[in-house]
Amino acid sequence: MAHKVTLIPGDGTGPEVSESARRVLEATGVQFDWDIQQAGTDVMEKLGTVLPEETLKSIKRNKVAIKGPITTPVGGGFRSVNVALRMALDLYACVRPCKTYKGVRSRYDKVDIVIVRENTEDLYAGIEFEKGAPETKRFIKYVSKLSGQKIREDSGISIKPISVTGTKRIVKFAFEYARKNDRKKVTAVHKANIMKFSDGLFLSVAREVAKEYPGILFEDRIVDNLCQQVVARPEEYDVLVLPNLYGDIISDLCAGLIGGLGVAPGANIGDGCAVFEPTHGSAPKYTGMNRANPTATILSGMLMLRYLGEKEAANRLEKAVAAVIAEGKHVTYDMKPTRDDPTAVGTSQMADAIIAKLKEV
């Protein structure tokens, strides 16, 4: 029976990479019944919203979605559609496997780290007070009185909530992931030495949860120290569990270790739904140029196949992607020795090469 899946092309280079992923997924032989839905800047003018209700309803109905990246303006403008989607569907776990494939342009060759990022709390919760707004002035006055600490009047404020409930479920998710995928160690990442009541709570809850999994090693690292350690000795890390903001930053750091954003896939998972998407953004400067690397979205599709129970197709797809990367011929500009290499192929041609390889593996 065909899998009913919501497909959100996204904006910027999103439509190009998601179309490549759709073609490759179909070429695995697995049957899909795509429910194509819109979100992002491209629908704003038509529907007056960046996240139409119908798109949310479709994901709730189908339980599984794959999406291209969506642009978020920096500073002002609307809030991130991606964050809104994760919040609305309570997709609390962002899973980003970072693995080096032979042939990628990276200084490292043995990276195999899985990032488990909390997706609903922390500075991403969207509780913000704009500089100078009347409620901000009231808030500053109230908190200054309550804490006895001075906050400058010309401050903008973002709140960082981290709860026992949110931490427990993400750390459990990380350990369950480790158990099911035969992983040996979970490292909790935090800045508990400075933020004692938010990151400190994250760490103490993580330590409690770890006791329920005696077969899996547990350790913790302060986030700044982790940055230098992951760069110096990535092979020492296995599964990382992090609050939202550190998870976002360390995801891109680890993407850098494995050959760049063009090859880093991801999944946002909740108890009822899952949305698969690359780690990278909409790379708007390449829009419509058939230049963006489709690998991250295609590998997100591979994660989706595993989620749907299509293990054999997922393994074949991963092998086909790995073979095309290892050959290094039909790959996009970012996988070539120099950025202006004339032998680089376009987004859709790299997808074609993976489709052709699927017949051989």
Taking the complex as a whole, the smallest distance from the CB of residue 211 to ligand NAD amounts, in Å, to 34
Token duo for residue 79: 């809030």
The yes or no reply on residue 283 touching ligand NAD (CB under 6 A) is yes
Alpha helices (H) along the chain: 14-27, 41-47, 53-62, 81-88, 134-147, 164-180, 199-210, 223-232, 244-257, 295-307, 311-327, 347-358
The yes or no reply on residue 301 touching ligand NAD (CB under 6 A) is no
| Side-chain-facing half-sphere of 285: CA atoms under 13 Å | 0
The yes or no reply on residue 187 touching ligand NAD (CB under 6 A) is no
- Longest CA–CA separation in the chain, Å: 69
Site string for ligand NAD, 227-266 (x = CB under 6 A): ----------------------------------xx----
- Separation CA 68–CA 80 (nearest Å): 14
Catalytic positions, written as ranges: 124, 191, 224, 248
Token duo for residue 162: 């981290």
The yes or no reply on residue 282 touching ligand NAD (CB under 6 A) is yes
Among 70, 89, 98, 104, binds ligand NAD (CB under 6 A): 70
Nearer to ligand NAD (CB atom), residue 187 or residue 332:
332
List the interface residues with ligand NAD, window 10-39 (CB under 6 A): 17
**φ, ψ at 141 (rounded to 5°):** -65, -45
Among 38, 55, 62, 72, binds ligand NAD (CB under 6 A): 72
The yes or no reply on residue 96 touching ligand NAD (CB under 6 A) is no
| Residues 347 and 354: beta-carbon distance below 8 Å | no
Closest CA to 13 of 331, 352, 285, 262: 285
Nearer to ligand NAD (CB atom), residue 178 or residue 302:
302
Q: Which residues bind ligand NAD (CB under 6 A)?
A: 17, 69-72, 82, 261-262, 277, 280-285, 292-293, 296, 334
